Amino acid sequence: MRDAEPQAVRLADYRPPEWLVDTVDLDVALHPTQTRVTARLALRRNPEGTPDAPVILEGDGLTLVRLALDGAPLAGSSFEASPERLALRHPPSDAFTLEIETLVDPTANTQLMGLYRTSNNYCTQCEPEGFRRITYFPDRPDVLAVYTTRIEAELDEAPVLLGNGNLVSSGPVLGASRHFAVWHDPWPKPSYLFALVGGKLAKVSDSFTTASGRQVELGIYVEEGKEARAGYAMDALKRSMRWDEEAFGREYDLDVFNIVAVSDFNMGAMENKGLNVFNDKYVLASPQTATDADYSGIEGVIAHEYFHNWTGNRITCRDWFQLCLKEGLTVFRDQEFSSDQRSRPVKRISDVRMLKAAQFTEDSGPLAHPVRPETYREINNFYTATVYEKGSEVVRMLKTLLGEEGFRKGMDLYFERHDGEAATIEDFLASFADATGHDLSQFALWYSQSGTPTLEVKGAWDEAAGTYRLDVKQSVPPTPGQSEKKPMVIPLALGLVGPDGADMPLMLGNTPVERGVVEVTQKEQSFLFTGLDAKPVPSLNRGFSAPVNLKSDLTPEDRVFLAAHDGDPFNRFDALQGLALGLLTRAARGGAADGEAALIDAAGRLLADAALDPAFKAQALALPGEGEIARELGSDVDPDAVFAVRKALRLKLGAALAGPLAETYAALGTAAPFTPDAASAGRRALRNLALDYLAVSGSDEGVARAQAQFAAADNMTDRMAALAVLAQHDRPERAAALDAFYARFERDALVIDKWFTLQAQIPEAGTLERVKALMLHPAFSMGNPNRVRALVGAFAATNPTQFNRADGAGHAFLADVVLSLDAKNPQVASRLLSAFKTWRQLEPGRRGHAEAALRRVADTPGLSPDVADIATRSLG
C-alpha cells in the first residue's frame, strides 16, 4: 500500500523530467507468483533539467533483486532502494544503461493495476501509474521511450504471448518446456501505454488495408469457446479504422493490431500501443447474450480505444492534468463515429442524457472539478464524467465555433505539430487559434472553471419593428475551490421558428447568423434579430450546442409547439423533456401537476408521427430520470417523492395513450431474425418502451404481455426489456422469470451481471436485503469488478429510493462494502463511494445518514489514497 496521506500534486509545480529514457529492453519471465522482470533502461540526462539532479525512479510495492550500471553490478552504497523508490544520488555520467531486476507476484495483485492474473492468464494495466508496479521507472507520461519486450512462459500455461508493436521473433526456449516471444514497438511511448499478455486464448483473425496500402493483421483474443462472440467487435474495429482515415486523415501505423478481452478489468478498456486490453463486456456479443445497448457500447469503446492511437498515443499528454487532452478529444471522436454509423440526432440525445445524468450531477456536487484539474491526490479518481464527457463537449463547442473546415484545419495542425510529443491543452488550443486566426483565450476557461454554467434567456417581440430581442445572462455557480467565476464563451445555436413551423431568417441587423450560432461572451448580452414578419418561438441551444443549464421563458404552449415543429430534432426531444421536467419538479415540491394534458397531447402526437424515427420516439417519450428530477430540485430532495411523481406521470401517460401504444407494440413486432443495426434497434427500443408503459399499472394484461415477450424472445434486448418490466411488479411472474433467466444463462457471467443489476434496481423496500443475499450467491464475487459494479454499483448509482432509504440502511451498506473492498481493489472501492456525490441535495434526515456513513469511511484507519480522497472531498 502507498502512503496513507499522499501529497497533493499541482499542475503549477510541473517540471520537465530530469532524466530521459531512450530505450527500454524488458525481459519478463512469467510465473504465477514470482515473475522476474529485467529492465534495461538507456538513461540520459535531460539537457533541460536541473544540473546534477539525481536519478529517481518510481516503484510501487517492488522487490529489487539486482542492479547493474553499464553491465557492472552496483554496490549497495551507490543507490537507495525501497518498494516505492530507486534513487541514484550520484550518477557516474550523463548517459548510461541501468539494468534492474525485480520480482513481482501477479497472483497477489488484486488491485488489477500492473501485472495481474485474470482467468489464469496474465495481463497488465499500466495507466496511469501501473508500470511502476512492474519495474522502477520515471513513470510519467512525458518520458517517451522505444520498447522491446521479450516475454517467456511455460508453453502449456501461456501458449499466447503478446506485446506492444510488431512481433520480432518467437520460439521454444532450449531444453525446457518454456517458450518466448519478442515484440518491438518502434513508436516512442510513455510507460502507461506498455502492455503484455500471456495465456491460453483463442484468436479471431482478420486484416485491414490502410489508405496508403499497409497490410494490418487484426487479432481479437478471447477465452476459448467465445470466438463467435467477437465478430461484431471485429467489424466495429474495421469500420473505426476506415472512419479515422476518412474523417480525420489518420492511418494506422503498425503491422498488427491486437485486442485482448479479459474478464477482470477495472475500467472499460485500455489503448496500449498495438495491444488494446478490454473488459470482455465491451468485446463479446451475440444476439442471445447482448442487448442493443451492449452492441452500441462495444462499437463505441472499440472505436474509442482505436482512435487513441492518434489522440493519446502518437500525441500523448505531458502530465496527468492534461488527461482530457486525450480522453475528451477521443470521446468526441468516438461520438462522431457512432453518429456517422447510426442516427446522429439519436446519438446526440443519448449522449446528452448521459452527460446530464453523470456530468451535470458531478459538476453540481462536492466532487466537481475542472475539465483540466489543477490539483489531485489520487489521479485514478480523475477518470471522471467531467474529464471524459464534458471534455468531449468542449471539443464539440470548438468545432461549433470554428465550423467544420476550421476545426479540421486545427486538428491537422495539431497532428502535424505535436506528433511524437507529450502535449498540453495550451498546445491543443494554439493549433486551432493559429490555424483559424481565432482568439481562444476566453474559450480556454472551459478547461479551468468547473461548474455547469446557467444561461438565462428572455425574448422580447417588437411587432412594429419586426424584431425579436434575446436577452441573455450567464453565470457559473461556485464549486469547490472556485467561488468567483468569469463569463465563458458559449456557442448558442438557435433558430427562430415561425407560426408555420418553419425556421424564419436569422439576421442580426443586416448580417445573417453564420451556421445559426451566436457567441455569448459576456455576463449579460442582447441579440436583436431583424426582418421578421411574425412573432417567432425561439429554439435555443440547438443540438445542445453548449453544456449549460438553460433557463428560458418559453411557455408550456411554446414547448408543445416546438415538440411538434422544431426543425432541430434534439430540441424537439428537449421541448417534450422540458415540459415533463417542469411538471414533475412542481409536483415533487407538492404543487399541482398542471400541464399534464398538454404533455399527454404532445406525446401522443409525437407517437403518431409516422415520419419520425422509432429510436427518436423512444428517446422523446422516456421521461427524465429520477436523478435529473432530483438535480433540478437541487435541495431537500425526498427520493420517494421523486419516484412517486414520476411513476404517477408514467401511469397517466400509459393510460391515456394505451390505444396507440398497443398499436405501436403490435405494429413493430417482427418475425425477422435479430440484427444489431441502428434501425432495428430503434424499433425494438420503441416497442419495448410501449411494453413498459402498457404495464406500469401492473394490470394483468400488461404483465401478461411482458411475460409472453419474455418467454418468446429470440434476443437479449427483448428478453431483458420484458424482464425489466416484470421486475417492477411484485407478483409471482417476477420470481418465475428471474429464476428462468438464471437457469438459462447461469454459465454466462456477463449475462448474469444483467440479472444482478435488474434486481438491484427494484424500487421496493426489500431490495437492500435482496442485494445482501445476492452477494452470497455463488455467481457473485467481490474480486471481479464487473460483478461488484453490476450488483452493488447499480444499487448505489441507479436505485435512488433504496440506496437513500430514510432509515440510512442503504448508505450504511455502501460504506460497509467500500471498507471491505478497499484493501483488495481501491479503484473499484472509490468508484462505489462516489455514489455519495449527491448527498448534499437530500432532505435533512437522509443527508444526516449519508454524512454519517461518509464520516465512518473517512475516519477508518489505513484507507487507500483512492477512498480517502473521495471520502474527504465528498465531505469537504
Size of interface with ligand ARG, in residues (CB under 6 A): 14
* Segment contacting ligand ARG by CB under 6 A, of 264-272, 453-461, 464-472, 718-726: 264-272
Separation between Cα atoms, residue 390 and residue 371, nearest integer Å: 7
Q: Among residues 334 and 626, whose Cβ is nearest to Zn ion?
A: 334
Name the catalytic one among 152, 299, 305, 632: 305
Q: What is the dihedral of CA 787, 793, 799, 800, to 10 degrees?
A: 170
What is the DSSP track for 334-388? Answer: HHHHHHHHS-HHHHHHHHHHHIIIIIIHHHTSTT---SS-SEES-GGGG-SHIII
Question: How many CA atoms, within 13 angstroms, populate the side-chain half-sphere of residue 405?
Answer: 3
* Segment contacting ligand ARG by CB under 6 A, of 202-210, 267-275, 684-692, 731-739: 267-275
Q: 550 in helix, strand or coil?
A: strand
Cβ proximity of 803 and 810 under 8 Å: yes
CB of 109 to ligand ARG, least distance (A): 13
363 binds, among Zn ion, ligand ARG, none (CB under 5 to 8 A by kind): none
CB of 100 to ligand ARG, least distance (A): 24
Spatial CA neighbour of 121 closest among 228, 230, 224 = 224
Q: Kindly state the cell numbers that stand for 178.
A: 518454456
CB of 302 to Zn ion, least distance (A): 12
* Segment contacting ligand ARG by CB under 6 A, of 123-131, 251-259, 780-788, 800-808: 123-131
127 binds, among ligand ARG, Zn ion, none (CB under 5 to 8 A by kind): ligand ARG
**CA quadruple 628, 629, 633, 635: dihedral positive or negative?**
negative
In whole angstroms, how far apart are CA 586 and each of 591, 596, 630? 5, 11, 12
Q: Kindly state the cell numbers that stand for 857.
A: 469511511
271 binds ligand ARG (CB under 6 A): yes
CB of 429 to ligand ARG, least distance (A): 22
The contacts of residue 671 (CB under 8 Å, 6+ apart) are none
Q: Kindly state the cell numbers that stand for 645.
A: 411523481
Q: Kindly state the cell numbers that stand for 554.
A: 418559453
Site for ligand ARG in 374-403 (CB under 6 A): 380, 383
286 binds ligand ARG (CB under 6 A): no
Q: Among residues 331 and 430, whose Cβ is nearest to Zn ion?
A: 331
CB of 391 to Zn ion, least distance (A): 10
Q: Among residues 334 and 718, whose Cβ is nearest to Zn ion?
A: 334
| Site of interaction with Zn ion (CB under 5 A) | 327, 330
334 binds ligand ARG (CB under 6 A): no
Site string for ligand ARG, 813-832 (x = CB under 6 A): --------------x-----
Site for ligand ARG in 290-309 (CB under 6 A): 304-305
Spatial CA neighbour of 629 closest among 614, 617, 644, 616 = 644
- What is the DSSP code (8-state) at residue 287? T
Q: Among residues 305 and 566, whose Cβ is nearest to Zn ion?
A: 305
Cα-based angle 372, 377, 383 (whole degrees, multiple of 5): 50
866 binds ligand ARG (CB under 6 A): no
Q: Among residues 355 and 588, whose Cβ is nearest to Zn ion?
A: 355
Spatial CA neighbour of 419 closest among 45, 144, 21 = 144
110 binds ligand ARG (CB under 6 A): no
- Give the chain's largest Cα–Cα span: 97
CB of 504 to ligand ARG, least distance (A): 43
Q: Among residues 270 and 494, whose Cβ is nearest to ligand ARG?
A: 270
Q: Among residues 129 and 327, whose Cβ is nearest to Zn ion?
A: 327
Among 115, 204, 234, 270, binds ligand ARG (CB under 6 A): 270
CB of 271 to ligand ARG, least distance (A): 5
315 binds ligand ARG (CB under 6 A): no
Residue found by looking up cell 494495466 in the block: 125
Cα-based angle 662, 667, 668 (whole degrees, multiple of 5): 105
CB of 307 to Zn ion, least distance (A): 8
Site string for ligand ARG, 25-64 (x = CB under 6 A): ----------------------------------------
Q: Among residues 317 and 455, whose Cβ is nearest to Zn ion?
A: 317
Residue found by looking up cell 467544420 in the block: 404
Q: 89 in helix, strand or coil?
A: coil
Separation between Cα atoms, residue 785 and residue 797, nearest integer Å: 15
Cα-based angle 45, 51, 56 (whole degrees, multiple of 5): 55
**305 given a catalytic annotation:** yes
CB of 317 to Zn ion, least distance (A): 11
Separation between Cα atoms, residue 170 and residue 167, nearest integer Å: 8
Cβ proximity of 106 and 116 under 8 Å: yes
* Segment contacting ligand ARG by CB under 6 A, of 120-128, 202-210, 484-492, 691-699: 120-128
Among 148, 266, 431, 825, binds ligand ARG (CB under 6 A): 266
What is the DSSP track for 430-462? Answer: HHHHHHH----TTTTHHHH--SPPEEEEEEEEE
236 binds ligand ARG (CB under 6 A): no
* Segment contacting ligand ARG by CB under 6 A, of 122-130, 507-515, 524-532, 663-671: 122-130
Catalytic machinery residues: 305
What is the contact surface with ligand ARG in residues (CB under 6 A)?
125, 127-128, 266-267, 269-271, 304-305, 327, 380, 383, 827
